[in-house]
Structure formats: C-alpha cells, structure tokens
C-alpha cells in the first residue's frame, strides 16, 4: 500500500501484541508507516510495560474505542480468539459481512490441497483461501 498510495484512500492500521517487545518491525512502523501520508497507525499492548507510553488494552476493545468509520474494508489477521472478538467488534461498529476479510490459515497443514486437513465443506483453505470474506464464511459449515 505504501508503494501504491494513489490506489488507496486513508489506511487505518490497528496492531497489537502482548508486549512492546512482541511488536514485529516496530522501528519500521514508527519511522515509515506512521509518517506516511493518509496512514493512521494505532498500536496497543495487552498489559502495561515499563517504557511504553502508548495504548494499553486488547485489540478488540481498542477497536471499539477508536470507532472506525464503516466506509472502508476491514482486513483481520491474528490469533483465532482475537479474530473472533474483532469480527464481533466490527459488526457492532456497523461493518457488514461483505466489508470484512479474515484469514483461516491456521487450519492449513500441507498447503497444497493434498492432505484435506483444511477442508471446510467444499472449500480447501489452502487452495480457496486462506483469506475469505466473512459472508463467504457464513456459507461454510460451522466447523471453522
């Protein structure tokens, strides 16, 4: 997105981790992403930490505090439990299932459709995904 800014409107990134030490590429985020035109970065860590002066709290809670405008598409990745609560938070904010994409990559094993371990109904996460729109998930059996 940074390389093709003219293709996107405002980009809002909400990124959280357990601690500041767990934020991957924090220096790049602070020096590049946070300074990019029309890019808003919201960082949070789960628990207070010495030396951290940013937001403290869980991503799903912070999402609701920020209250993003619903005139955009939401992309969600992370641990399954966080994804579950973020999806619910986005729905509370008024995002439709067609506006939200998420990943099911943790279901994959072989990654090429041979083992069948990622199969959900007629879909293979490794071949048909791993990213799906939430309304597509609604059409799958409830095993995901």
- CA dist 72 and 77 (Å) reads 17
CA dihedral defined by 45, 71, 137, 46, rounded to 10 degrees? 10
**Mean pLDDT within 21-26:** 95
Q: How many CB atoms lie within 10 A of CB 81?
A: 9
The pTM of this model reads 0.88
Judged against a pLDDT cut of 80, whether residue 143 lies above it is answered with no
Averaged pLDDT score across all residues of the chain: 93
| Sheet of 100-103, strand order | 74-76, 100-103, 131-133
**pLDDT tier, 16 (very low <50, low <70, confident <90, very high otherwise):** very high
- What tens digit of pLDDT does each residue of 29-70 get? 999 999 999 999 999 999 999 999 999 999 999 999 999 999
Percent of the chain with pLDDT over 70: 99
- What tens digit of pLDDT does each residue of 111-139 get? 888 998 899 988 999 999 999 999 999 99
For residue 80, CA distances in Å to 76, 83, 107 come to 10, 5, 10
């Amino acid at each position: 997105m940074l390389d093709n800014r003219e293709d996107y409107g405002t980009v809002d990134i909400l990124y959280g981790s357990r601690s500041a030490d767990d934020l991957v590429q924090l220096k790049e985020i602070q020096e590049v992403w946070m300074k990019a035109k029309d890019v808003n970065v919201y960082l949070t860590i789960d628990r207070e930490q010495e030396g951290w002066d940013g937001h403290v709290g869980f991503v799903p809670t912070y999402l609701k505090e920020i209250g993003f405008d619903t005139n955009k598409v939401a992309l969600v990745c992370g641990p399954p439990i966080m994804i579950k609560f973020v999806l619910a938070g986005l729905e509370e904010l008024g995002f439709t299932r067609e506006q939200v994409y998420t990943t099911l990559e943790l279901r994959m094993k072989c990654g090429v459709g041979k083992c069948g371990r990622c199969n959900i109904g007629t879909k293979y996460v490794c071949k048909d995904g791993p990213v799906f729109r939430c309304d597509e998930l609604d059409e799958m059996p409830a095993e995901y």
